[in-house]
Amino acid sequence: MTEQNHVRPADARPPSHAKRVGQAGDRAEKTTKPSQLKIIRKTFDGVVVSDKMDKTITVKIDRVKKHPKYLKTFAVSRKYKVHDEKNQYQEGDKVSFVECRPLSKDKRWRVLYANNH
């Protein structure tokens, strides 16, 4: 074998090199701006069961589940600590609340409005 067979010409580059050069600029242009992204937040409705904490209420959510095998329906409840900035909701009020950033160890929810039907 001669030395010339192993030497690659200067203008011959692997095809992957040409792709890498063009992609760096394209990728930066195609990214979406954070202001254009829509944040999907969970929303729940429930009843206030405690308002004894400052700027925090405890809201109970009741829902009905069906047993997968026996098909019996039963009630399941869960309590959430919800941020109430103005301390305006009392026990027994029906409220809607939405997911938000962590406000404390247990609070990740914020009151939207009261559902007084």
Q: What is the pLDDT of residues 51-81, one digit of tens each?
A: 999 999 999 999 999 999 999 999 999 999 9
Phi, psi dihedral angles at 51 (to 5 degrees): -130, 30
The C-alpha atoms of residue 49 and residue 81 are separated, in whole angstroms, by: 10
The C-alpha atoms of residue 50 and residue 44 are separated, in whole angstroms, by: 17
Contact 62, 74 (CB under 8 A): no
How does DSSP classify residue 35? G
Type of residue at 9: P
Domains and CATH numbers, the chain: 3-31 (no CATH), 43-114 (2.40.50.140)
Q: Which helix (H) or strand (E) holds 43?
A: strand 43-53
pLDDT at 117: 62
Calculate what percentage of the chain has a pLDDT beyond 70: 69
